[in-house]
Structure 1
């Protein structure tokens, strides 16, 4: 039984309208040694996601599909999957992504961790014609400060925040500290959970080995968010900063991350007001929130001049991969 094997893994997949990709995701999970169960939570899809997921089950009946009658968001879906599974190790897989062979063997070579993440290969192809670069599975510990700073994006730089990492988590640590996904968040729910875990003393290990394949899609649900989602995300930093006894460098990093998200929120809120009521409502917004206008002006200027600036490397080449982290090439035997 999964609960008797300390290295047994549950793969949880929150899925919405993923009928075209869910089979690849499930099969890549089932192919991994050590995977005892795959729990798919169909978050009120309007396509055949649940039916297709059921059809991807194997002869060991390791796949369980839970269908929600109303859409509750990825945080709630993942919490439901965790609550309806039992394996000691929990791995997150997005419904349009996949695992490369050997992912968990590389991770389980390392000990003394509560969360462990590996490198990500971004690709445009759900069935890449070749394997990713082989990197040495060098490990390092990720501190709370490094995690926060690694989630602050830089203008003109292709997104590669540490928050994209998909760590395997020990169920015992989550249960001991009563940690789960914040269901009020539909953006940054991973950032929030990992940050709170680190604040509770989680040992977060990162290795350079590539085991996760992230498919870059223009219509990805993870790339869509509402203005209020940004507001809820920056509130996370404000709430955490209220924790007594935080080191000053962590407080400073939280302020910078909060400001980074606030600037994105300010721009979106201004554009929303303009869309609703034209320049009259946009001017009203500017008069009501003058402190927001510098970030609004900077964001508009960036958008208007984007075509004239050098483009950062593509999120994923048409052929091949882009890697989230740099690594040292493994010696091929």
Structure 2
């Protein structure tokens, strides 16, 4: 059973959060290396990360001259991993004590992920790790379906999973992050691993804390990022897939491309005005329904926008104590 873990942290302007992230990784007995990739920060992220080493020399910092995005940054870290396993940690998040001790003994996996606690900014109460839960297989079809936005506007969140990844599998199948993506790069890698025969398991036992920030980089994306993610789905469809897998990916591609079309015409209206937007739409009938439904959805949802919650919520229901 592989037991050595390299934790990868892609960071941009994260000097105020990087110390807790690093400390939570160094506190794990299985961690042999914490690789911080400073992705073109304007603050003291790189030096703050170096200073956060606990004296064991496990913290390594790679400084990039300009911002390239998390996919590029993580690939640079993957190139220098010394552990048998890699674990992604966002720079404003944290690992719960004993995370890898609980996860790694589960059998037969190439990726394994645990439950996530989404905590509001400033939340500092301890999170209770309740009970234990068996690890269950997650198929490519169910993973992709778990990333769809449903009719009730609830966004699928399985793309937020932060699995521990067997590096030998990535090497054998020549897989890495798609550096063209600045949105959905995790989803894309996990889907390609599954399509290559990777075994993905999940457990409801809590192990990862994700800080919910209103200005989080993960919550911001360009219109172009949506098009690139839809194109990545299109590329996935070229792989040997079962009919249910193909259907699920097609649904995800269609939903993502429709979001792109909606955003594209909103951008056009902002930049060129209403008349130019209507003229463009008349020549693009495939975009009529996505644009109209997107506008209606925005109008219907805006008045009901809820204030940010101060409560912790979980990706999966917690296991019984």
Please state which band the TM-score falls in when normalised by the shorter chain: over 0.9
1:167 correspondence with 2:163: yes
Question: Contact 1:132 / 1:321 at 8 angstroms: preserved in 2?
Answer: no
| TM, length-normalised to structure 2 | 0.96
The residue that corresponds to 1:321 in the other structure is 312
Partners of 1:212 and 1:105 in 2: how far apart? Answer: 13
CA contact (8 A) 1:119 1:210 kept: yes
User: What is the aligned counterpart of 1:191 among 179, 187, 191?
Assistant: 187
Partner residue in 2 for 1:300: 295
Structure 2 CA distance, aligned partners of 1:175 and 1:55?
32
Segments of 5+ residues of structure 1 without an aligned counterpart are none
Q: Does 1:122 align with 2:118?
A: yes
CA distance in 2: counterparts of 1:288 and 1:117, whole angstroms: 45
Give the distance between the partners of 1:293 and 1:216, measured in 2 at CA.
34
Following superposition, the deviation at residue 80 of structure 1 comes to 0.4
* Consecutive aligned runs of 4 or more in structure 1 exceeding 4 Å deviation: none
Change (3 A) 1:131 1:218: same
How far has the Cα of 1:233 moved from its partner? 0.4
Taking structure 1 as the reference length, the TM-score comes to: 0.92
The match for 2:102 is 106
Are 1:88 and 1:170, in contact at CA under 8 Å, matched by a contact in 2? yes
DSSP-derived class of the 1:77 partner:
helix
Partner in structure 2 of residue 151 of structure 1 = 147
- CA shift, 1:16, in A, is 0.5
What residue is the counterpart of 2:280 in the other structure? 285
1:85 aligns with 2:81: yes
2:127 to 113, 125, 131: 131
Deviations 1:144-181 (A, max 9, x none): 11111111112444434211100000111110111100
What secondary structure does 2:273 align onto? helix
Partner of 2:268: 273
Q: CA deviation at 1:6?
A: 2.9
Q: 1:260 aligns with which of 249, 255, 262?
A: 255
Does the CA contact (< 8 Å) of 1:114 and 1:169 recur in 2? yes
Instruction: Report the number of matched residues.
Output: 321
Shift of residue 86 of structure 1? Answer: 1.2
